[in-house]
């Protein structure tokens, strides 16, 4: 193993051998590629002034990705930007760009730089990778601790046949169903993030992170979850700190040989040590303490929401549907969720279709007794507006126009019972259920 220049207990320079040529190439490529991928200059992009740097860098990167795709990569004629999916055509074009820059940069670096080794550079690259993996692990772990990443299946999801779900949504509800399991997976991610922040526990943290992100990567690959590129990178970067300790780890765990403590760079200057401590404290505050507080506040609000303009909640069966509407577009049932969203069993593409249901958001005007259906809560204009009357809590009558066709829809509440919503648990099970 190639060690850094100084040990943790001494500030004297430790002379090391020349790095092998392949190791120099690997370091140069890894350094360029990982710095591009991590973009540490954008980590504090939410702060004033620093957000300008992050924004300018983002614009420059976007321009280069599109330029490279147009003349070299040809991933797709028009790139789809990053959205809920991290595996869009833009993501693959970005991967091609980073790889190309790293290859060219490695070649140029090899020609102009003739130093014997990169002990110091390797050490600080490891620090950057550690903190990047820690930042991601803390971000995703904290929201899992509060059950905010994967949510319990909604009424609309419970009413959707199992066979209609895509693998990703199926896996999402699998985790969201069990709050304790989601908490456990989040706690392990937070543990990995915290361990990676300290040099003495960084190796253990890398082991934990590699285990966590191996599971995440395999779920993404096996359930077609569109975060494959990101999770693969996280797994590789979690193992990156272990590569330098490979010989020591093999001696200890496999060959039953004694091994020496890892060498670390120490900072003899007191002011520089204070700067380092200040940066670590700032990192902990920004990426651990504040996210915990913000997620706690958001969870508290979600557990006691004050929903304004809400009509009702429940599963309604369509008793009567009058109107000059094609049979495939007629409503079969309607679900109002606990907020101002819902879904309808219909093939009408006027609504946002997912798993053979049309999803909607609505705005209620209780003074005019009208309900405006929208594709999403972000939309300002309504798809259609209907008058409603609710003679009792179990009946609802809607009148209005859909695509200029006058319709009347009579709905009756059904006490649908979903066993999955019971969150069952049994220590004693006499048979499979």
Each residue of 101-153: pLDDT tens digit? Answer: 999 999 999 999 988 899 889 989 999 999 999 999 999 999 999 999 999 99
Contact 147, 182 (CB under 8 A): yes
Phi and psi dihedrals of 396, rounded to 5? -145, 135
Residues 36 and 103 in one domain: yes
7 domain residue, yes or no: no
Beta 341-344 vs 395-402: how paired, if at all? unpaired
Regarding whether 235 and 129 lie in a shared domain, the answer is yes
Beta carbons within 10 angstroms of residue 173's beta carbon: 20
- N- to C-terminal Cα separation, the chain: 54
**59 shares a domain with 187:** no
What's the confidence (pLDDT) of residue 11? 36
> Do both 235 and 249 map to the same domain?
yes
In whole angstroms, give the CA distance from residue 214 to residue 210.
6
Pair 321, 294 in one domain: no
Tokens 């809560």 found at: 377
- Full residue range of the structural domain in which residue 407 is found: 314-419
Q: Are residues 320 and 286 in the same domain?
A: no
Cα(342)–Cα(372) distance, integer angstroms: 12
Could you give the CA distance from residue 103 to residue 32 in angstroms, rounded to a whole number?
Answer: 9
Q: Is residue 160 part of a domain?
A: yes
pLDDT for res 120? 87
Domain count, the chain: 3
Whether residue 111 is found in the same domain as residue 123 = no
Assess if residue 9 is contained within a domain: no
3-state DSSP helix/strand/coil % of the chain, to nearest 5 = 50, 15, 35
Mean pLDDT in order along the chain per 10 residues (433 residues)? 39 60 94 96 81 91 97 95 92 97 97 90 93 97 94 93 93 93 96 94 95 97 96 97 87 88 76 86 91 90 73 94 90 94 95 94 93 92 95 95 93 91 84 75
Q: Which of 283, 304, 325 is the last residue of a domain?
A: 304
Do residues 234 and 253 share a domain?
Answer: yes
- Say if residue 398 is in the same domain as residue 269: no
pLDDT of residue 304: 65
C-alpha span between 412 and 333 (Å, rounded):
9
Cβ proximity of 334 and 411 under 8 Å: yes
Beta carbons of 69 and 62 less than 8 angstroms apart: no
**CATH number, residue 362:** 2.40.128.20
CB atoms within 10 A of CB 281: 11
d(CA 362, CA 364): 7
| 108 and 122 share one domain | no
> pTM here?
0.88
Per residue in 396-428, pLDDT (tens digit) is 999 999 988 999 999 999 998 888 888 788 888
Residues 163 and 244 in one domain: yes
In a domain, 2, yes or no: no
In a domain, 431, yes or no: no
Q: Per-residue DSSP letters for 394-426?
A: TEEEEEEEETTEEEEEEEEEE----GGGG----
Final residue in a domain of this structure, among 92, 115, 138: 115
Rounded to an integer, what distance in angstroms lies between the CA atom of residue 304 and that of residue 387? 29
Question: For the packed helices 89-112 and 50-68, what is the interaxial angle rounded to 10 degrees?
Answer: 100
> In terms of domains, do 278 and 178 share one?
yes
């Amino acid at each position: 193993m190639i060690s850094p220049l100084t040990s943790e207990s001494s500030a004297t320079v430790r002379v090391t051998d020349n790095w092998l040529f392949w190791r120099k190439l690997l370091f140069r490529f890894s350094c360029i590629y990982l710095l591009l991928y991590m973009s540490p200059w954008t980590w504090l992009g939410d702060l004033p002034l620093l957000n300008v740097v992050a924004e300018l860098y983002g614009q420059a990167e976007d321009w280069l990705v599109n330029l490279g795709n147009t003349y070299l990569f040809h991933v797709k004629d028009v790139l789809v930007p990053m959205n809920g999916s991290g595996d869009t055509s833009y993501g693959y074009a970005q991967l091609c760009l980073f790889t190309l820059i790293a290859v060219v940069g490695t070649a140029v670096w090899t020609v102009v730089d003739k130093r014997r080794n990169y002990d110091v550079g390797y050490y600080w690259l490891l620090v950057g990778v550690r903190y990047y993996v820690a930042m991601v692990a803390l971000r995703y772990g904290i929201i899992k601790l509060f059950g905010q990443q994967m949510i319990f299946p909604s009424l609309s999801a419970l009413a959707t046949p199992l066979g209609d779900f895509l693998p990703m949504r199926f896996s999402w509800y699998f985790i969201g169903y069990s709050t304790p399991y989601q908490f456990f997976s989040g706690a392990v991610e937070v543990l990995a993030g915290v361990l990676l922040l300290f040099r003495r526990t960084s190796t253990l943290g890398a082991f934990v992170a590699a285990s966590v992100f191996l599971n995440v990567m395999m779920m993404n690959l096996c359930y077609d979850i569109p975060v494959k590129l990101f999770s693969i990178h996280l797994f590789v970067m979690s193992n990156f700190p272990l590569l330098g300790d490979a010989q020591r780890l093999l001696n200890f765990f496999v060959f039953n040989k004694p091994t020496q403590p890892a060498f670390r760079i120490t900072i003899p200057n007191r002011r520089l040590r204070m700067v380092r401590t200040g940066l670590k404290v700032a990192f902990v505050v920004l990426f651990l303490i504040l996210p915990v507080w913000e997620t706690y506040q958001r969870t508290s609000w979600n557990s006691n929401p004050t929903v304004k303009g809400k009509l009702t909640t429940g599963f309604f069966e369509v008793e009567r549907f009058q109107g000059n509407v094609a049979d495939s577009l007629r409503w079969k049932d309607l679900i109002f969720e606990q907020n101002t969203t819902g879904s309808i069993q219909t093939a009408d593409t006027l609504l946002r279709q997912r798993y053979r249901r049309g999803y909607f958001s609505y705005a209620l005007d209780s003074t005019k007794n009208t309900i405006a259906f929208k594709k999403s809560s972000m939309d300002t204009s309504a798809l259609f507006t209907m008058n409603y009357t609710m003679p009792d809590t179990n009946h609802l009558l809607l009148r209005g126009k859909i695509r200029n066709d006058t319709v009347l829809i009579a709905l009756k509440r059904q006490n649908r019972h979903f066993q999955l919503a019971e969150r069952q648990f049994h220590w004693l099970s006499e048979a499979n259920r």
